Amino acid sequence: MRYHLLLTLFITMLAISCGKESFDNATTTDIKSGSYATMLTIGNRLYVVSKTQLTTYDVNIPASPVQLDRKDVGFDIESLFYHEGLLLIGSANNMYIYRIDHLGIPVRESANEYSQLIDPQMCTRDPIVARGSIAYVTLSTALQECSWNRFVNELRIYDISDIQNVKQLNVIGMSNPRGLGLGKNHLFVCDEFDGLVVFNIDNPLQPRKVKNFTGYKGHDLIVNGNVLVVVSDTALYQYDITDETNIKPLSVIYL
């Protein structure tokens, strides 16, 4: 979609001067991406997910990428997030966790089903972000695309300290959550109906809603230092989050 392409362009512009000449997964900490990203560059490795597969490229020579690995993941893959040497991959019904080995090749560690009660045909959208041992996932049904009488619209919190035994810790109901991102002490969640929702996560297991910015449909976002960029269907919204308890709008760029 247009807003995802625009956010990808924004991220690419941020990363132009940040390339590395070799793969060093151990020291890679600052990977900027929207939570709906389907490709990530880590060192000289490019990871790309399609609807069913994860492909790894060597991009040491950017003009001549070389495919190193391709593997089947599952179905309806929707998002890719890097976290402390891991790739967290979101699909319509599962969170897949891959460990990146010393050569930069992903190795599957686990596949974690969101719930046997969630039918993949319900069109859930499930971006993932993580910090430390905690992962945050939004599940939502696309009301305009799915003809179901039961909908799932939730923010879920998972313990990923043991990546082969992931545990759900909490769930918070939302209107229609989409992309999300982490600040210093707050979690930012886009929502189709509620715009931008801000949660305090001083207690990471119990996010507490403290504010929301309405007037637009929030789709995805990226946290870039002290600036938060939110993508809606009509504009890019920038916020100053230097003080996360006093978030200030900076600008609106209409699409």
pLDDT single digits (tens) 70-87: 999 998 899 999 999 999
**Model confidence, pTM:** 0.87
Both tokens of 16, joined, read 């132009």
One-letter identity of residue 29: T
pLDDT single digits (tens) 89-113: 999 889 999 999 999 999 999 999 8
Burial 158-183 (b: 16+ CB within 10 A, else e): bbbeebeebeeebebebebbbbbbbb
Q: Indicate the pLDDT class of residue 142, thresholds 50, 70 and 90.
A: low
* Cβ neighbourhood burial of 106 (10 Å; 0-12, 13-18, 19+): buried
Rounded to whole angstroms, the Cα distance separating 13 from 26 reads 24
Which one is predicted more confidently, 33 or 137?
137
pLDDT single digits (tens) 152-197: 899 999 999 999 999 999 999 999 999 999 999 999 999 999 999 9
What percent of the chain is modeled with pLDDT above 70?
80
Judge whether residue 231 has pLDDT over 50. Answer: yes
Residue 4, phi then psi, degrees to nearest 5? -70, -40
Residue 79, phi then psi, degrees to nearest 5? -155, 160
Judge whether residue 243 has pLDDT over 50. Answer: yes
pLDDT at 152: 82
Rounded to whole angstroms, the Cα distance separating 170 from 135 reads 11
Judge whether residue 232 has pLDDT over 60. Answer: yes
pLDDT single digits (tens) 7-45: 544 444 444 344 444 556 654 555 677 889 999 999 999
pLDDT at 9: 46
Instruction: Tell me the CATH architecture of domain 2-254.
Output: 7 Propeller (2.130)
- Listed range (46-60, 94-108, 132-146, 210-224) with the worst mean pLDDT: 132-146
Contact indicator for 207, 167 with CB cutoff of 8 Å? no
pLDDT at 29: 53
Domain ranges of the chain: 2-254
Rounded to whole angstroms, the Cα distance separating 85 from 59 reads 18
Q: Indicate the pLDDT class of residue 123, thresholds 50, 70 and 90.
A: low
